[in-house]
Amino acid sequence: MSEIDLKTFFLEQVRLFENFPADKVEEIVIKSRLATFEGNEAILETGDEGKFIGIMISGHAEISMSDNTGTRSVISQLQAGDVFGVMSLLTGDRIVADVIAETRCFVLMIPQAVFSTHILSSPKALGYLSRLLADRTRAMTVDIVTANARAVAKSSDPYALTLNSNMPGKVVALNVGLSQIHFGIYDTHDLGTDIHGIIDSADQHICHITVMVGPQNQTMTCPHFPISDLFKVMQEATQLLGDAFVFHPEDVTAIGHRVVHGGSKFSSSVVITPAVIGDIESLSGFAPLHNPVNIEGIREAMKQFPGVPHVAVFDTAFHQTLPPYAYLYGLPYDLYKQNGIRRYGFHGTSHRYVSLKAAEVLKRPLGELEIISCHLGIGASLCAIDHGRSVDTTMGMTPTDGLIMPSRSGSIDPAVMIHLMENHHMSPDELSHLINTESGLKGISGISSDIHEIEAAASEGHHRALLAHKAFCYQVRKNIGAYVAAMGGIDVLAFTGDIGETSATVRSLACQGLGYMGIKLDEEKNRNLGKIGPYAVISTDDSPVTILVITNDDERLVAWETLRAIERNQLTLAAKGEEDAPIPIEISAHHVHLSQADVEKLFGPGHQLTPEHELSQPGQFACAEKVHLVGPKGRIANVRVLGPTRKETQVEIAMTEQFKVGIQPPIRQSGDLVNTPGITLEGPYGTSTIERGVICAQRHIHMTPEDALRFRVRDNYVVRVRIEGERELIYGDVVVRVNPGFRLAMHIDTDEGNAANIRTGMIGYIEEIQQRH
């Protein structure tokens, strides 16, 4: 924008400058600063001292605040001509909301001195700013920061990490990996029964399984098993903990799945749909060893639990708040735009959990803390968490980048790879094996990737073990210092992961020499830590920075994210309004589902059903074939066959038709054929007499898991449905049937339709839930 354009813009499009003389506006601009901010970059941050107000010249930004769980609420959208940063300059308080660029933004930064002398002297400008401040304050629900601080200080569970929910039942968290499956089972009402489990299949001959509840720990072994048997194995393993802790699949209300790579596509956890699965598959190129296995676990769980919501919790999502200058590599920009080559970061579930737990321990709102989280384990990464937002992390496009790790190299000069290819003739697969399994602590020490074995060897004078240990701790310490600089301060330093929780020496060396930053470790507390509970404080009493050791609990965070994603989804669906609430009604006349054996008895050997037209439910169709039903008293002619074939033949008739054929079928759900009467079927080729299979279908609703979330029901719930029409009627005992392959529709038979003059295409509404199963 040219100088002339800028003058015109400020005079004509900025309401703050209405009635300002052109020369005064020009003077303000000259004494101010023009700045550019990239998308996702913080323009103002909570807790900063207010030093200027900003005027948007171009681009889009948002004013947002973090609640006491770190979730951001948007207060206002900013575009060209809008003003921000007013409140702190008028009140003298620190900034209470973040201003984050959504796109590239061009901003005029007016210093406090210029604001006071040139703008506050104008009554009209002051009136405009007062109205603006009042609007923003209302949007912030007045004094939300103070309210949150009080709530956090008083609450024993301010971030809902106990998973207490108004949705009773069990939430399952799954982390399906190549050689291990981690799972958590959380009762949202009985908070003392949380179960953690690890299924380790690294041994080629047998699986080792550990299950834990509280201090109780049980182990078992079993042969390798297919993923389809996972929940059966979980049930067998939990039986070791006693009857009170046995995993019962029917109790499951939701399942959360940890997914390693969500790319730039996913910035939060999401309820899984076929489209989400497709997106995860498309990102497998970034995590070829992880995403495909994650998807396998998702598909199997959705197959076995079709009636509950499934949520994908992405390892990378927490880091989607990184600004561009933190996530871009020094490569041609087109490689980022066209190929997605950038820093994504990992261990997001761990770093997010650490930030929430740290805020809980300190009894302070997450939105006012600067935290450095050190996840030190088989994989190791640091994360700078500024007011609840990840602003930098050591891992990059893959989990190999960053710190030296037990067997991974961490960051190395990329030219090293070229050297190895050219001079040592190493292939990409050989290089990948080198940097992922033969490097790090293992590669430097030459003895092990286990930190405790290295520490033992180092204490006995093993030079390379000592060198590996020093190199690891140096990189942790160096990056702690870098992240203090990146955030401009630190309130909490937290250690987690196997190494972070168990190695006092690593923690000590990582903090060594950082006292000038306010990081003061209590060596006695650190050395005598022993087995900790959820957390331990190891800083000195006078340390400005609180140093914590936090027990890693990824599965709890997956379950936490799962409940929140379901709640967000329900709110989103509810916000769509009443037009989404109606349920289409369909009248289902008598019909027959045949097994292939009966198809051939009735229509001839090798006969295949002939689809005539599709039905409302995906994959179902009406056939050209018809049969006659013959009972003790009479017959029903030309009954339509529906496809595809089933394992067992089933006949559905209306209640009034029982008198015609002379049998008394029970009211049953489709497929429930135990103790049902039989009947004879006649076809053009022959007859078939079935011993059982005749029912009157129980009225029911087909719906997808997304529909179930919207209506707040689950598979096999029983509801009452009001159907509008000339003779409006409420039908009770309507069974809800949930499956990803269904399409929303309520089915009643011809008798029920005739009773109230109901026709296919009319609309029903769920009035209430009768029974929860």
What does DSSP say about strands 61-66 and 98-101: parallel, antiparallel, or unpaired? antiparallel
Q: How far apart are CA 431 and CA 412, in angstroms?
A: 13
Q: How far is CA 480 from the centre of its chain?
A: 28
Q: How far apart are CA 229 and CA 301, in angstroms?
A: 10
Q: Enter the DSSP assignment of 117.
A: I
- N residues, the chain: 773
Longest dimension (CA), the chain: 102
Q: What CA–CA distances, in Å, run from 699 to 155, 585, 758? A: 46, 11, 14
Residue among 366, 322, 483 at smallest CA distance from 46: 366
Cα atoms found within 13 Å of the Cα of residue 203, Cβ hemisphere only? 12
Our separate counts of H helices and E strands in the chain read: 25, 37
Q: How far apart are CA 529 and CA 507, in angstroms?
A: 11
- The residues facing 593 across adjacent strands are 642, 650
Whether residue 644 is preceded by a cis peptide bond, meaning omega within 30 degrees of 0, is yes
Residue among 99, 71, 649 at smallest CA distance from 318: 71
Q: What CA–CA distances, in Å, run from 128 to 86, 89, 93, 123? A: 11, 15, 20, 9
Q: How far apart are CA 669 and CA 513, in angstroms?
A: 71
Q: How far apart are CA 185 and CA 69, in angstroms?
A: 22
| Residue 502 structure tokens | 């168990």
Alpha helices by DSSP H, listed for 585-724, are 596-603, 658-661, 705-711
HEC-encoded secondary structure of 155-166: CCCCCCCCCCCC
Q: How far apart are CA 406 and CA 378, in angstroms?
A: 6
Q: How far is CA 219 from the centre of its chain?
A: 30
Residue among 66, 63, 86 at smallest CA distance from 75: 63
CB atoms within 10 A of CB 582: 14
Examine the residue annotation and report whether 229 is marked as an active-site residue of this protein. no
Q: Enter the DSSP assignment of 296.
A: H
Q: How far apart are CA 207 and CA 202, in angstroms?
A: 7
Residue among 195, 397, 187, 381 at smallest CA distance from 285: 397
HEC-encoded secondary structure of 128-154: HHHHHHHHHHHHCCCCHHHHHHHHHHH
Q: How far apart are CA 494 and CA 535, in angstroms?
A: 10
> Is residue 714 within a helix (H) or strand (E), and if so which, with residue range?
none
- Set 187, 315, 491, 749: catalytic member: 315
| Phi, psi (rounded to 5 degrees) for 35 | -135, 150
> What spatial distance separates the first Cα and last Cα of the chain, rounded to whole Å?
64
Q: How far apart are CA 403 and CA 482, in angstroms?
A: 13
Query: Cβ neighbours of residue 561 under 8 Å, at least 6 residues apart?
Result: 256, 269, 311, 313, 349
Residue among 106, 77, 88, 107 at smallest CA distance from 46: 88
Q: What CA–CA distances, in Å, run from 214 to 183, 195, 408, 533, 625? A: 15, 8, 33, 10, 61
Q: How far apart are CA 39 and CA 326, in angstroms?
A: 12
**Residue 716 · residue 698 · CB < 8 Å:** no
Active site residues per annotation: 315
